[in-house]
Chains A and B, each alone.
Chain A
Amino acid sequence: MTTHSGIRLPKPTRNDKRVYVRQHWLLYVMLALPITYYIVFHYIPMGGIVIAFKNYSIFRGIWKSPWVGMENFSKLFAIAEFSNAIKNTLVLNVLNLVFGFPAPIILALMLNELSGRHFKKIAQTVLYLPHFLSWVIIGGLVTTLFATQTGIINRGLASMGISPVPWLTESRNWVVMYVFVSVWQSIGWGAIIYLSAITSVGEDLYEAARIDGCSRFQMTYKITLPSIRPTIVIMLILKIGSMMSIGFEQPQMLKNPMVNDSGDVISTFIYRYGLENGKYSISTAAGLIQSVINFALVITANAVSNRISDEGIW
Chain B
Amino acid sequence: MAKGRQSLVDRGFEVLVTIIVTIIALTCILPILNIFSLSLSSARAVNSNEVTFLPVDFTLDAYESVFTNGALLRSMWYTIKATLLYVSISMFMTILCAYPLSHRDLVGRKPLWVFVLFTMYFAGGMIPSYLLVNDLGLINTMWSLVLPGMVSTYNMILMRTFFSSIPAEMKEAAYIDGANDADILWRVVLPLSKAMLATIALFYAVSRWNAVTDGMLYISEPSKYILQVRLKNIILSAAGLNELMSEGANVGLTIQPLQIRSAALVFSLLPVLVVYPFLQKYFVRGVMIGAVKG
A residues bordering B, Cβ < 8 Å? 1, 3, 12, 17, 20-21, 24, 26-28, 30-31, 33-35, 37-38, 40-49, 51, 62, 107, 110-111, 113-116, 119, 122-123, 125-130, 132-137, 139-141, 143-145, 150, 152, 155, 184, 187-189, 192-193, 196-197, 213, 215-217, 248-249, 253, 267, 270-271, 274-275, 280, 283-284, 287-288, 290-291, 294-295, 298-299, 311, 314
Contact = CB atoms under 8 A, between A and B. Distances in A.
A270 B216 CA distance: 14
Contact of B217 (A34, A116, A275, A299): A275
Given A125-B277, A136-B232, A215-B6, A284 B128 contact: yes
Interface stretch (B55-63, B144-152, B242-250): B144-152
A160 B10 CA distance: 35
A215 B35 contact: no
A188 to B, nearest CB: 8
Contacts of A294: 121-122
Contacts of A1: 110
Interface residues of B, number: 93
Contact of A139 (B119, B122, B236): B236
A208 B228 CA distance: 53
23 contacts: A31-B101, A37-B93, A41-B132, A42-B119, A45-B124, A48-B129, A49-B124, A51-B131, A110-B20, A123-B22, A123-B25, A127-B24, A132-B210, A132-B272, A133-B269, A136-B231, A139-B236, A189-B287, A215-B13, A216-B9, A216-B10, A217-B9, A248-B126
A196 B151 CA distance: 27
B52 interface: yes
B291 A197 contact: yes
Given A129-B28, A196-B291, A267 B17 contact: no
Nearest to B95: A30
B287 A136 contact: no
Contacts of A196: 287-288, 291
B18 A48 contact: no
A248 B126 CA distance: 10
Q: Chain A interface mostly helix, strand, loop or mixed?
A: helix
A283 B128 CA distance: 10
A51 B291 contact: no
A141 B119 contact: no
Given A37-B93, A38-B151, A216-B13, A135 B28 contact: no
B112 interface: yes
B31 to A, nearest CB: 5
Contact of B231 (A51, A137, A197, A213): A137
B13 to A, nearest CB: 5
A215 B10 contact: yes
Contact of A42 (B27, B94, B124, B209): B124
B219 to A, nearest CB: 13
B180 to A, nearest CB: 6
B239 interface: no
Contacts of B10: 215-216
Nearest to A271: B126
Contact of A136 (B34, B106, B217, B228): B228
Nearest to A126: B25
Contact of A45 (B97, B128, B287): B128
Contacts of A291: 122-123, 125
A155 B48 CA distance: 11
Contacts of B13: 113, 215-217
A-B complex: 3 closest residue pairs judged by Cβ atoms:
A45-B124, A48-B128, A287-B125
A311 B164 CA distance: 19
B167 to A, nearest CB: 12
Given A37-B150, A48-B132, A26 B182 contact: yes
A283 B127 contact: yes
A62 B242 CA distance: 40
Interface string B206-224: 1001111100010000000
A184 to B, nearest CB: 6
A280 B127 contact: yes
A193 B112 CA distance: 28
Given A48-B128, A114-B18, A291-B122, A128 B280 contact: yes
Nearest to A282: B127
Contact of B123 (A46, A128, A134, A248): A46
Given A30-B185, A38-B116, A314-B117, 9 more contacts: A12-B105, A20-B107, A38-B151, A44-B132, A113-B14, A127-B25, A192-B284, A270-B126, A275-B126
Contacts of A38: 115-116, 119, 151
Contacts of B187: none
A207 to B, nearest CB: 15
